[in-house]
Amino acid sequence: MPLTPLRPGRAGGFRRAMTATQGNGLLHHRRRRHLAVTVVLLFLTVAGVVLLQPRHVRVEADGRTIDFNTRTSSDTAALRGAGIDVHPGDRVTALDGGNVDVLRVERAHDVTLRVDGAEYRLRTHAQTINQLLSEAGVAVNGRDSVLQDGALVSMNAPVVPPRLFATRVMAGDADPDSPSISIDVRRAVTFSIVEDGRVFVSTSSRPTVAQALREAGVTVGPGDRVAPGAQAPLDEDSSIEVTHAKAVTVTLPHDHQVIYTFEGSVGAALSAAGIELPEGSVLDPPAETPVSAGMYVRVVQLSAASDVETEYIES
């Protein structure tokens, strides 16, 4: 069928219709884009209001409590803003405080540990000496001893020495400017004791001979001889000789005196102690009597007058 060409008027109307249709589509597209931009801007505005809303933070550190508001969501930035420095080993714990974000800072303790000839520098949260040594992998045996800042302490002693005066530092916190705590582990050494000729072996980590003898159960009394001296340092494989003096109580005419002696006889013991016998006195027991521990000696003063005893006999 032959195509009928459009009339000039009909062609113009068709073009106008197409142009109108294209214009309406473009306008509709622009409206949709404008609506999308409006929705995005509204979302960003709401999100900004939510995100920029002040955050209530409470920091517990170094014995202080600091409350403040911040717009940062970073705990690190919040602590920095509060003037709290977090050092390596410090522990930061976030706690739920309801409408408050609680940040607790627990300081690590600076400890210098000396053991077996080596020195270690540690930062630890251990509460007791025993926990600290367990963390460091240090075993403490029998008579080994632990010194904290030079003072002998037990394994259950706190890592941080007790303070003489009350402070604002809370339990578990440490002053970041406090000096390092010194912990020394002294190993026990073997030594021998010769006590009045009896020999036995003991061990001790105490620094002096006197302390080692006390730990071994040897009592050093007045006048006893100790070689080497009681305040001499205790060395490994050393031999300590203890000789106990014998206590003698001397009763004088008008007094009594206790002497400690190594002499063998009563007369020699009194002479060594500087006790002079009054003229005409006698010793009971006699001067040649051997000295024994805990004995009593009397100095008897005889009267210059003669006593006459008369006995009547019935006849």
**206 and 217, same structural domain?**
yes
Report if residue 153 sits inside a domain: yes
The set of residues, in sequence order, having a beta carbon less than 8 Å from that of 303 and lying 6+ positions away, is none
Report if residue 228 sits inside a domain: yes
pLDDT of residue 152: 93
Report if residue 26 sits inside a domain: no
Other C-beta atoms within 10 Å of 306: how many? 5
| Full domain range(s) for residue 268 | 246-301
CB burial of 83-94 (b: ≥16 within 10 Å; e: otherwise) equals ebebeeebeeee
Q: For residue 61, give both structure tokens.
A: 């550190």
Report if residue 10 sits inside a domain: no
Total count of domains within the chain: 4
pLDDT along the chain (315 residues), means of 10: 50 54 59 70 58 78 85 84 85 85 89 95 94 95 94 94 56 55 96 97 96 96 95 96 96 91 95 89 93 94 58 51
The SS3 call for residue 135 is helix
Specify the pairing of strand 281-284 against strand 295-301: antiparallel
Report if residue 54 sits inside a domain: yes
Domain of residue 211, CATH code? 3.10.20.90
Q: Round to whole Å and give the CA distance between 52 and 18.
A: 51
Q: Round to whole Å and give the CA distance between 103 and 125.
A: 17
Report if residue 11 sits inside a domain: no
Q: For residue 15, give both structure tokens.
A: 């073009």
Report if residue 197 sits inside a domain: yes
Report if residue 315 sits inside a domain: no
pLDDT of residue 64: 87
pLDDT of residue 175: 52
**253 and 193, same structural domain?**
no
* CA distance readout (Å), 142 to 139, 186, 202: 10, 11, 12
pLDDT of residue 239: 97
Domain of residue 137, CATH code? 3.10.20.30
